[in-house]
Structure 1
Amino acid sequence: MENETIESNVFDVPDNGPFYHGTRANLQVGELLTPGFNSNYHPEVVMNHIYFTALPNGAGLAAALAKGDGHERVYIVELTDSFENDPNVTDKKFPGNPTRSYRSQAPLKIVGEVTDWVRITPEELQVWREKLAKLRADSNAKIIN
């Protein structure tokens, strides 16, 4: 399943995958990931999209940063409709989308799980958490001012 790809003409997509979603939720093959949940990075925000990547290590980073006490998990996901580049990453940080980060308003179907991605160290995770805390503080300061 790890080598399974989506045909590019199915939804006229910019990437053929395979695609991955990182989380701490314990999910099963066949379940759907849907928008409508609180953001891992801004808990006060309800997400209108479901986010995913074509890089298993990127999904692993998302799993490490995700809320919850469960184990970090990287799921292989299948598209159910069209998707777009993640503008939070591609427009603001990495023009051209080298991170291969995407989002969709349509559900993503879990078709498998990856267990061999490169996990970040506890020190790297702390650096990421500090960066996210600074981003939250900066955006909260902008809202207040």
Structure 2
Amino acid sequence: MSGTPQDLRYTPEHEWVDGASPARVGITHVAVDQLKDIVYVDLPQPGTPVAGGQTCGEIESVKSVADLYSPVTGTVVEVNQAVVDAPELINDGPYEAWLFTVEMPGGTLPDTLLTAEEYDQVVAAAEEG
């Protein structure tokens, strides 16, 4: 599968995170494809603690509502107001339209996150199953 940026890490729930400090979090092209037209995002506010693998918000499309999971543990630093104001930006560029940033204790990504290759394998297996 092409189109999965190699420099990010992923969750099986289709979130991505970069290694910056604070780390940017977003959803993948697979999530966008599954949701279709995203019309609303409910994101954690700055100062909110988040835990890796736990829900921290919602993404609504014209056809469904999906939970948003934090890929890392830490404290939300910033929310991408442009995406809150215009959620359709996610449809057009899920890897440019980050959702929020998280300051992680220690500043390193957990080993449990998937590489691009591992994420593509998870997606391929799900499509086969």
Q: TM-score, normalised by structure 1?
A: 0.24
Which structure features the higher share of strand residues? 2
State the structure with more CA Rg: 1
